[in-house]
Structure 1
Amino acid sequence: MYIHQDINDVQYQYFRKPPRLSKKEALRLFLWNPKKQEVFGRTGTSWAKIGIFYTIFYGVLAALVAVCMWVFLQTLDPRIPKWQLHESLIGTNPGLGFRPLPPEDNVESTLIWYRGTNKEDFKVWTDALDEFLFPYKTPGSISGHGQNIYNCDYGQEPPRGQVCDVDIKAWAPCVQENFYNYHHSAPCIFLKLNKIFGWIPDYYRDPNNLPSNMPKDLVDHINNTAVTAPHTLNTIWVSCEGENPADLENIGPVKYYPRRGFPGYYYPYENSEGYLSPLVAVHFERPVRGIIINVECKAWAKNIKHDRADRIGSVHFELMID
């Protein structure tokens, strides 16, 4: 039995093939459909509903994140790390750093190379030292807490809330006015101990209880200090020497300013305003020219371990002066 179907009947509209539109007409209809009063495929009511929904959704989400962040920040102190020493990723073994560092375009290198007769060559290194030492020349200028600076000494530790001064005049001849002695092919390298919050050094005070691998000249220095100035034994000692036998021959005499180590009154580091790490200027007086010299510097305290492979408690760099 045949049943007539009116193609214009509403119930059969879904079976009708949609009209073919050009891309331009389809885009125009998507942007604004006057028949259905739609913009981008939605009516004004539909856009209002979805807009209200997402406004409430993201508002609640932002409020939740803000509350969680506020609660988290209440557990932190802006000056004191939550995890310290053994509990921190840094650990309890400070590393040793040196300055000047090679240019940023050669960041993986540790070679300090220049021609002593060429001012442009060594100016790269002296400029880097000028930049690094600027806070030491104008203490308190960056932090704005110059009033916190105290003239410390052995037996005269800084009062609560104050930090020890670093006397740059004691670095002579490793000073800016003397180009840090780079123009004499006898460069100065500055050493600094990495900061670990709350770390207290365990000093080598007893000359009869020194490690067997400590350099002989440092052993002699500690023995002499124990006799002439025993009150200064609270020092993290420093040694720099050639890494290999050939380097030991080529490195020449080495002197340290203002003393051969980091005084104990700078520790522990507590992130006080205006704090500057103590520095040791290492003066290589007569290194052999025209050859690469591998240098290894170490910091010495009972609770500083050394590992050459991982550069723990020590630092390596090379010198080459043409």
Structure 2
Amino acid sequence: MRRQLRSRRAPSFPYSYRYRLDDQDELNQNYLADEEEEAEEEARVMVVPKSEEEEEEKEKKEEEEGQGQPTGNAWWQKLQIMSEYLWDPERRVFLARTGQSWSLILLTYFLFYASLAAVITLCMYTLFLTISPYIPTFTERVNPPGVMIRPFAHSLNFNFNVSEPDTWQHYVISLNGFLQGYNDSLQEEMNVDCPPGQYFIQDGDEDEDKKACQFKRSFLKNCSGLEDPTFGYSTGQPCILLKMNRIVGFRPELGDPVKVSCKVQRGDENDIRSIRYYPESASFDLRYYPYYGKLTHVNYTSPLVAMHFTDVVKNQAVPVQCQLKGKGIINDVINDRFVGRVIFTLNIET
């Protein structure tokens, strides 16, 4: 509240007192000015809380209005924003890019991948010009021939019971299917009868078709399936076929055929008392070498050696190792059990 000072009429004083009264008037005026400033500050303080209260009331009203609206509007707004991002009809932009921007991006990527494909194609074309599709360029790492046996057996374990055909019938089916290409009539029709004991070398261009020598199914005799359709499994005398993997240009060294020899890998050697081989030489004749590749040596038939285990101990597992024997043959590689040898197990139950 403003304080008002009552004006009093000053009595007549001597001239020396007049200056004192003037100083008193200045003090009073200063006091009144200070009072006015304080009043204005109080008025401001009273006004500020009101403005804050008004703002809080507005926020509460907005929240109430927002709570009163259905929640679906928020999802609808998000869908609108998403649709506008995908396609904005006003600005005519798709995924925040104009048609010109998309065209430049697509053109850039097309030129990049086209040039990349052209470089790769050129490299491949140059590579194929330097290699032959008929003869491998590098054969140093495949010189030692590997071997494989038939019929197929899981983990190379031949387990069967002679008195239970279901345990060995799948071996018979596997052998019959494998030997279909060795039928005598088919071999006589496709291949030629070559003289044994010498290489069958064929001159000419590398892309010329080569002839193949006959290897008839009848060469396997008791293991051919012609005389005994069960291949000896019904009597506990199983037949197992062994073949060398094909290597283009391979020739047994010194003109000596590669032979096959089987024995007990570990244990009593008397567990296998008798083995018959077919052909009787237990070797791969020289007339089936060299091999010229599958593109030109189309009818080539890999020679086989059949092992007929006629006397094997029964009711126990017998580990068998069959090795290739010959000049330049490697059969003692520890970390590869199929280079020059094969190891399998016979477990014949009665």
Alignment partner of 2:253: what SS? coil
Distance 2:114 2:81 in 1: 35
Correspondence for 2:323 among 288, 298, 301: 298
Name the structure 2 match of 1:313.
Answer: 340
Q: Percent identity?
A: 30
1:275 partnered with 2:275: no
- Residues 32 and 26 of structure 1, relative CA distance in 2, 3 Å threshold: same
State the one-letter code of the partner of 1:169.
Answer: S
Asked whether the equivalents of residues 265 and 320 of structure 2 are also in contact (C-alpha less than 8 Å), the reply is: yes
Name the structure 2 match of 1:136.
Answer: 182
Once the two structures are superposed, what CA deviation does each residue of 1:243-288 show, in whole Å capped at 9, x if it has no partner? Answer: 2341x21212100012311111212222122212110011001212
Choose between structure 1 and 2: higher helix proportion: 2
Correspondence for 1:67 among 113, 118, 122: 122
Asked whether the equivalents of residues 150 and 158 of structure 1 are also in contact (C-alpha less than 8 Å), the reply is: no
RMSD over equivalenced CA pairs, Å: 2.4
Equivalenced residue count is: 259
5+ residue gaps, structure 1, are: 1-19, 104-108, 206-233
Distance 2:327 2:198 in 1: 23
State the one-letter code of the partner of 2:167.
Answer: D
- Compute the TM-score of the two structures, normalised by the length of structure 1: 0.74
Once the two structures are superposed, what CA deviation does each residue of 1:117-145 show, in whole Å capped at 9, x if it has no partner? Answer: 2222111112222233233238979xxxx
Distance 1:72 1:255 in 2: 49
Name the structure 2 match of 1:29.
Answer: 84
Name the structure 1 match of 2:196.
Answer: 154
Distance 2:125 2:93 in 1: 43
Distance 1:159 1:307 in 2: 30
User: Whose RCO is larger (CA < 8 A, sep 6+)?
Assistant: 1
* Aligned positions of 1:32-181 closer than 5 A: 32-84=87-139, 86=140, 89-90=141-142, 92-103=143-154, 109-137=155-183, 147=190, 149-155=191-197, 157-158=199-200, 160=202, 161-177=210-226, 178-181=229-232
Distance 2:201 2:119 in 1: 44
Once the two structures are superposed, what CA deviation does each residue of 1:2-42 show, in whole Å capped at 9, x if it has no partner? Answer: xxxxxxxxxxxxxxxxxx99431221111111221101221
Correspondence for 1:286 among 300, 311, 316: 311
- Compute the TM-score of the two structures, normalised by the length of structure 2: 0.68
Correspondence for 1:194 among 245, 252, 257: 245
Distance 2:98 2:149 in 1: 68
**Larger-gyration structure (1/2):** 2
Deviation beyond 6 Å, 4+ runs, structure 1: 138-141
Alignment partner of 2:320: what SS? strand
State the one-letter code of the partner of 1:261.
Answer: S
How far did 1:300 drift? Answer: 0.9
1:242 partnered with 2:269: no
How far did 1:72 drift? Answer: 1.2
Alignment partner of 2:84: what SS? helix
Asked whether the equivalents of residues 140 and 274 of structure 1 are also in contact (C-alpha less than 8 Å), the reply is: no
